[in-house]
């Protein structure tokens, strides 16, 4: 996963009783995570003990005292284990039956599973953290989100009915997207600022790969995709024929109420994307290259988690297809309905978005297929120019009049062809040299 600043949230649960205490080791480096741990523990109805290291109060200790949380002073010397033992001793003295003490980095505690491990003969319980919860073989829904407070809670709730877990990547939203997703039952990963759709996807890929999920189904946060279609994509993936399954507007029973201008723009982008991948036959064609509704298997997730060529912005959808095609991952499409009749269906200007996608496709083509895309058409264009040149001089010889129109056409096709052909040859040579 990338080195972005990411914060994790999960939904609260009901209180388990004051016999359980949560210990927090307050250091100068863990203020944010320590305060979140205190807040979540109090929200569940647990008591909290904060371990103050040394005589100087840091921000966590000062906050704890302000809200009436008990603090325990200890010598700053020693390691995590020693500090956890000191908290356990303090809990025993105060009469608590159980104390949960995370390490000083204060990873998120999964309280229900942690308390299931509690032993009547042992006071201290090692916490089960979110990263300890194994999701291997399970279907997880991933939702990239940016300022989607109006729809995120509904999308999360509906998605949870068809998945084992829902992960939302809040890409630096300025609204309550993260809080509402958390309340709806999602695990929320937060970017410190807005990085773009592609970066949100890469965070999802890295998290899913780290958790070793069976499959990841990505849907949009604005409600355009029908969560009821999640099992269709997941089932198609489980059949083992494909590594990537796309929920397509244009394949099989797929449908969309997209405006005509969007349909035309998608047709152009889809055509160029397929040509840039060297796909000519209709049966091999990807009908909906820009659908964000996709299911990824574990093999492709592992490959994408380390892929630096996937861009941070909206071109990521195309970049992922290039990656799958180049690395021989199988792609299938399942017909789905994508609804544009939702509030704020897309915050991207369709013209600028389309031009950016085409620009990205052309850059990829120039880099990967210069001979087939530039060299061959350039050669054909040159031949057309020579043909018009022959026609031009034939007219001049037979009639004694120079046809200016034919001459200009001849020059145009010849110059464009020569330029394209030589550009393709040069780029191909550079690619061969760099590889």
CATH of the domain at 305: 3.90.550.10
Average pLDDT over residues 153-174: 92
Instruction: Indicate whether 332 and 277 sit together in one domain.
Output: yes
Domain limit, last residue, from 104, 132, 160: 132
pTM of the model: 0.57
**pLDDT value, residue 44:** 81
Q: Are 261 and 342 in the same domain?
A: yes
**181 located within any domain:** yes
Q: Output the domain CATH number for residue 121.
A: 3.40.50
Within a domain: 126: yes
Q: Are 149 and 291 within one domain? A: yes
Instruction: Please check whether residues 15 and 109 belong to one and the same domain.
Output: yes
> Does residue 10 carry a pLDDT above 50?
no
Q: Is residue 244's pLDDT more than 90? A: yes
Check whether residue 345 and residue 386 sit in a common domain: no
DSSP per-residue codes, 323-344? HHHHTT--EEEEE-EE---STT
With the C-alpha atoms ordered 306, 309, 313, 319, is the resulting torsion angle positive or negative? negative
The number of distinct structural domains making up the chain is: 3
Residue 297 lies in a domain: yes
* Alpha carbons 156 and 169: distance in angstroms, whole number: 12
**SS3 category, 220:** coil
Q: Look at residue 352 and tell me if it is in a domain.
A: yes
Strand bridging mode 337-338 / 255-256: parallel
Asked whether the predicted pLDDT for residue 124 surpasses 90, the reply is no
Ordered strands of the 47-53 beta sheet: 70-74, 47-53, 20-26, 98-100, 124-125
Same domain, 359 and 395: no
- Domain end point (choices 132, 157, 178): 132
Alpha-helical segments (H) within 161-297 = 177-183, 197-211, 230-238, 260-276
Domain span including residue 206: 139-367
In a domain, 3, yes or no: no
The verdict on 289 and 379 lying in the same domain is no
Last residue of a domain, one of 132, 152, 174: 132
pLDDT tens-place string over residues 43-91: 888 899 999 988 889 999 999 999 999 999 888 887 888 888 889 899 9
State mean pLDDT over 327-335: 90
Asked if 240 and 306 sit in the same domain, the reply is: yes
183-217 per-residue burial string, b: 16 or more CB within 10 A, e: under 16: bbebbbbbbeeebbbbbbbbbbbbbbbebebbbbb
Decide if pLDDT at 177 tops 60: yes
Q: What is the mean pLDDT of residues 298-309?
A: 84
In a domain, 336, yes or no: yes
Q: 3-state DSSP call for residue 406?
A: helix
Could you give the 3-state DSSP secondary structure of residue 240? coil
Domain shared by 187 and 242, yes or no: yes
Query: How does strand 215-218 pair with strand 331-335?
Result: unpaired
Q: Is residue 208 located within the same domain as residue 253?
A: yes
Let me know if residue 5 belongs to a domain.
Answer: no
pLDDT digits (tens, 9 = 90+) for 269-300: 778 777 777 776 677 788 888 888 999 998 99
pLDDT band at 13 (very low <50, low <70, confident <90, very high): very low
Q: Tens of pLDDT along 346-380?
A: 555 555 555 555 555 555 555 566 666 667 788 88
- Indicate if 363 and 374 belong to the same structural domain: no
Let me know if residue 105 belongs to a domain.
yes
Considering the domain architecture, whether residues 99 and 239 belong to the same structural domain is answered as no
């Amino acid at each position: 996963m990338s080195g972005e600043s990411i914060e994790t949230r999960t939904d609260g649960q009901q209180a388990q009783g004051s016999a359980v205490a949560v210990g927090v080791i307050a250091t100068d480096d863990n203020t944010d995570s320590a305060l979140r741990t205190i807040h979540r523990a109090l929200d569940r109805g647990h008591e909290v003990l904060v371990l103050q290291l040394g005589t100087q109060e840091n921000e966590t200790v000062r906050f704890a005292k302000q809200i009436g949380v008990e603090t325990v002073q200890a010598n700053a010397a020693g390691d995590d284990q020693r500090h956890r033992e000191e908290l356990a001793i303090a809990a025993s003295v105060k009469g608590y039956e159980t104390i949960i003490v995370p390490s000083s980095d204060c990873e998120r505690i999964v309280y229900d599973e942690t308390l299931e491990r509690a032993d009547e003969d042992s006071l201290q319980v090692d916490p089960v953290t979110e990263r300890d919860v194994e999701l291997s073989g399970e279907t997880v829904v991933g939702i990239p989100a940016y300022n989607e407070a109006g729809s995120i809670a509904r999308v999360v709730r509906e998605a949870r009915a068809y998945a084992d877990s829902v992960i939302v990547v809040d890409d630096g939203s300025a609204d309550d997207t993260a809080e509402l997703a958390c309340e709806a039952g999602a695990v929320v990963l937060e970017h410190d600022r807005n990085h773009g759709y592609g970066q949100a996807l890469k965070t999802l890929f890295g998290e899913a790969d780290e958790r070793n999920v069976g499959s990841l189904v990505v849907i949009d946060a604005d409600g355009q995709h029908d969560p009821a279609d999640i099992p269709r994509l997941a089932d198609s993936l489980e059949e083992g024929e494909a590594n990537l399954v796309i929920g397509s507007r244009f394949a099989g029973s797929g449908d969309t109420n997209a405006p005509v201008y969007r349909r035309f723009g998608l047709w152009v982008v889809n055509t160029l994307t397929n040509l840039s991948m060297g796909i000519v036959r209709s049966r091999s064609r990807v009908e909906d290259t820009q659908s964000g509704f996709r299911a990824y298997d574990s093999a492709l997730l592992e490959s994408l988690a380390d892929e630096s060529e996937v861009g941070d912005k909206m071109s990521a959808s195309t970049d992922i297809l290039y990656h799958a095609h180049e690395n021989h991952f199988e792609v299938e499409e399942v017909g789905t309905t994508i609804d544009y009749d939702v509030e704020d269906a897309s915050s991207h200007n369709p013209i600028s978005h389309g031009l950016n996608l085409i620009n990205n496709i052309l850059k990829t083509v120039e880099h990967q297929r210069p001979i087939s895309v530039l060299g061959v058409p350039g050669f054909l264009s040159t031949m057309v120019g020579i043909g018009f040149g022959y026609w031009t001089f034939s007219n001049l010889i037979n009639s004694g009049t120079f046809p200016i129109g034919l001459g200009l056409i001849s020059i145009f096709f010849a110059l464009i062809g020569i330029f394209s052909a030589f550009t393709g040859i040069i780029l191909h040579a550079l690619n061969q040299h760099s590889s």
